[in-house]
């Protein structure tokens, strides 16, 4: 019994080693910082995932791509959530001011919530379609995560732009 455990032990550690990712959001942040006023911040989406795939052993495998893309998706999701909270707070403040002066303007906070809910449905349907294009192949997983990453990044940038405007 002990011999079986010793033979099996090295194989148990292999998947963990193969999946150690080298992810940093630095490539995306550097790309965004280097943009001038004519640059499109959307062009920076995916920079850190690509750097991760380059730096991670096996990063261009299906598992590696999925992991690196997911890490950048999480980065953009955190930015999106922070921007959404800030935009929502501003919208609630404007709504309160409008109520105070008796204006009949539509609620910004309610419109923002409806927009975000519609965007989530759009994102999910778009990425489900993207996955379907792979016909059940293994590339469907990374393609789906990539779709979520790009659309989440775009939405985060859109909401962050609302903070600059308002």
Whether 65 maps to a domain, the answer reads: no
Whether 60 maps to a domain, the answer reads: no
Other CB atoms within 10 Å distance of the CB of residue 88: 16
Helix (H) or strand (E) holding 9: helix 2-18
Q: What is the pLDDT of residue 166?
A: 64
Question: In 3-state terms, what secondary structure has residue 57?
Answer: coil
Q: Which CATH number do you get for residue 165? A: 1.20.1270
DSSP, residue by residue, 68-81:
HHHHHHHHHHHHHH
Indicate the number of domains in the chain: 1
Residue 139: φ, ψ to 5°: -70, -15
Cβ 158 vs Cβ 80: under 8 Å: no
Distance CA 49, CA 8 (A): 33
**Tens digit of pLDDT at every position of the chain (166 positions):** 444 444 433 333 334 334 588 899 999 999 999 999 899 999 999 999 999 999 999 999 999 999 999 999 999 999 999 999 999 999 999 999 999 999 999 999 999 999 999 999 999 999 999 999 999 889 999 999 999 999 999 999 999 999 987 6
Whether 18 maps to a domain, the answer reads: no
Containing structural domain, residue 127: 78-166
Whether 165 maps to a domain, the answer reads: yes
């Amino acid at each position: 019994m002990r011999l079986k455990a010793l033979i099996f032990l090295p194989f148990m550690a292999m998947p963990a080693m193969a999946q150690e990712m080298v992810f940093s959001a630095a490539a995306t942040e550097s790309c965004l910082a280097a943009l001038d006023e004519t640059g499109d911040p959307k062009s920076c989406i995916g920079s850190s995932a690509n750097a991760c795939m380059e730096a991670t052993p096996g990063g261009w495998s299906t598992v590696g791509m999925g992991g690196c893309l997911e890490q950048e998706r999480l980065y953009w999701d955190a930015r999106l959530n922070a921007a959404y909270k800030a935009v929502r707070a501003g919208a609630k403040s404007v709504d309160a001011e409008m109520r105070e002066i008796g204006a009949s303007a539509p609620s910004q906070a309610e419109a923002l919530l409806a927009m975000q809910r519609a965007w989530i449905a759009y994102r999910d349907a778009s990425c489900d379609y993207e996955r379907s294009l792979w016909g059940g192949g293994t590339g469907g997983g990374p393609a789906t995560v990539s779709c979520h990453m790009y659309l989440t990044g775009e939405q985060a940038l859109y909401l962050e732009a609302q903070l600059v405007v308002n």
